Amino acid sequence: MRLKQTRAIFKFSRKGFIEQINKMPKEKKHKHKPVLTDQSLQFLKNYINNPSPVGFESGGQKLWLEYIKPFVDTHFIDPYGTAVGVINPSESFKVVIEAHADEISWFVNYINEQGLIYLKRNGGVDHQVAPAKRVLIHGKKGLVKAVFGWPAIHTRIAQADQKEPLPKVDNLFLDCGARTKKEVEHLGVHVGAVVTYEEGFDELAHDYYIGRAFDNRIGGFMIAEVTRLLTENEKELPYGLYVVNAVQEEIGLRGAEMIARRIKPDIAIITDVTHDTQTPMINKVIEGDVSCGKGPSLAYGPAVHNKLLKLVEDVAEKNKISVQMRTVSRSTGTDTDSFAYANDGCPSVLISIPLRYMHTTVEMLHKRDIEQTIILMYETLLELSPKTNLSYL
């Protein structure tokens, strides 16, 4: 019994992983591998293509936990499904790196007698991009394919003086092929079933990636990669590191709120997406000047701890990582707020990755930004210690 247990620990523990690396012949032991490996990119694709709707994130969380388990000492899950990997769990000084796991989606709200399905938002899903999209309804009998129906252009503009209808939550509907309410229900589709888009990961020219819900599963991917690099490079941290993939960000930063209270961290580093502002119809006067491919974005704002921010800026400069500054107002609109204002106040900083077309199914980001954001978080963690002075006065 004991031997079996030891073997299991060897296979899955961080210490075991480091021992395995040490046993590798020298030529196979890459101390400074490229940031993203074929294996990590494969994980990214699987993770993005796997639905993780707000409130129903467990499928994605399982994938994520499986990936990071070899790089952490232990892990746990909170009552609403936030997943946490821990390095040095016995240390009293605690640092969090955090992203959110949930994906904006829809809820089935009403099924009419013709078998058409009306929806409610689950998070800030964009009604303007919905028409003619393919979706999956997560029903009681499994996934059911459907489409957002929309009147044909011919019928829409039949009368010259008639205004074209615009997509709104109350005129958007799903057609799953059923022609009565009974037929819909027979498929296992019910009020409260969650609905996600079908479109997944793809690559464009010049190292651009597209996919739905890079917001913010790219964050979950990046904190996992930071953890992998710490372990593969055999870095010892003088504190407990909590790698947090929080649920329910998109409906009000709720998962982070819960887990911040549970962990009570001393420092929190949050990562999320931010708008690339280079495309048409975005006002830089309001949104600032941020561009994909030019590095992670750091934000000034009351919730962002100035001394911690300065530390991250210095780390970026030392490591020649270009960063793009922006300001946020009352709130960052990210889990940073939940961590900063949790408990007795937790010094928090936001490291964002620029992204185009947020909350559409073709969210776009640049590979170099992914790598640079990972390196910035990684190097920041190496700079921190329980002695880091973050006192304002």
163-202 mask for Zn ion (x: CB under 5 A)? ----------------------------------------
Q: How far apart are CA 297 and CA 326, in angstroms?
A: 7
Q: Which stretch binds Zn ion (CB under 5 A): 50-58, 169-177, 211-219, 366-374?
A: 211-219
**Can you tell me whether residue 355 is helix, strand or coil?**
strand
* Between 237 and 251, CB nearer to Zn ion: 251
Place of tokens 């990582």: 321
* Between 215 and 225, CB nearer to Zn ion: 215
CB contact at 8 A, 373 and 293: no
Q: Looking at beta carbons, which residue is closest to Zn ion?
A: 215
Asked whether position 102 contacts Zn ion by CB under 5 A, the answer is no
The minimum distance between CB 103 and Zn ion, in angstroms, equals 9
Q: How many residues bind Zn ion (CB under 5 A)?
A: 1
* Between 70 and 255, CB nearer to Zn ion: 255
Asked whether position 215 contacts Zn ion by CB under 5 A, the answer is yes
* Residue in 343, 270, 264 with CA at minimum distance from that of residue 301: 270
> Residue 74 to residues 8, 16, 119: CA-CA distances in angstroms?
13, 12, 40
The minimum distance between CB 56 and Zn ion, in angstroms, equals 16
The minimum distance between CB 6 and Zn ion, in angstroms, equals 43
* Residue in 119, 151, 123 with CA at minimum distance from that of residue 138: 119
CB contact at 8 A, 212 and 270: no
* Between 348 and 360, CB nearer to Zn ion: 360
Q: How far apart are CA 366 and CA 155, in angstroms?
A: 40
Q: How far apart are CA 252 and CA 226, in angstroms?
A: 26
The minimum distance between CB 335 and Zn ion, in angstroms, equals 11
Asked whether position 335 contacts Zn ion by CB under 5 A, the answer is no
Q: Which stretch binds Zn ion (CB under 5 A): 74-82, 213-221, 293-301, 346-354?
A: 213-221
The minimum distance between CB 79 and Zn ion, in angstroms, equals 23
The minimum distance between CB 250 and Zn ion, in angstroms, equals 5
* Residue in 207, 203, 215, 205 with CA at minimum distance from that of residue 371: 207
The C-alpha R_g of the chain, in whole angstroms, comes to 23
- List of residues contacting Zn ion (CB under 5 A): 215
